[in-house]
Amino acid sequence: MMQQETVDAMRASDLFAHVMGRTLSHRLIGELSNRTVSLAQVHALRYMWLHDDVLMGDLAEGLGISYPSATNMVKRLERRGFVMRRMNPVDRREVEVRLTDAGVHMVTRMETERVERLGVTLRAMASDDREALLRGLVAFVRAAVAGGTAIASDLCLRCGREKWAGCPVCQVEKVHADE
Render pLDDT for 150-170 as a digit per residue (tens, 0 to 9): 676 666 667 776 777 777 777
One domain, residues 82 and 116: yes
One domain, residues 90 and 130: no
CB 141 within 8 A of CB 133: no
One domain, residues 103 and 25: yes
Q: What total number of domains does the chain contain?
A: 2
pLDDT band at 177 (very low <50, low <70, confident <90, very high): very low
Q: What is the pLDDT of residue 179?
A: 41
Q: What is the pLDDT of residue 174?
A: 66
Share of the chain above pLDDT 70, in %: 87
Report the alpha-carbon distance of residue 13 to residue 137 in Å, rounded.
10
Report the alpha-carbon distance of residue 13 to residue 16 in Å, rounded.
5
Report the alpha-carbon distance of residue 35 to residue 138 in Å, rounded.
33
Domain of residue 57: give its range.
Answer: 3-124
One domain, residues 112 and 163: no
One domain, residues 120 and 142: no
Instruction: Say whether pTM exceeds 0.85.
Output: no
One domain, residues 105 and 27: yes
pLDDT at 48 over 70: yes
One domain, residues 131 and 120: no
Report the alpha-carbon distance of residue 145 to residue 148 in Å, rounded.
5
CATH number of the domain that residue 62 is part of? 1.10.10.10
Last residue of a domain, one of 85, 104, 124: 124
CB 62 within 8 A of CB 36: no
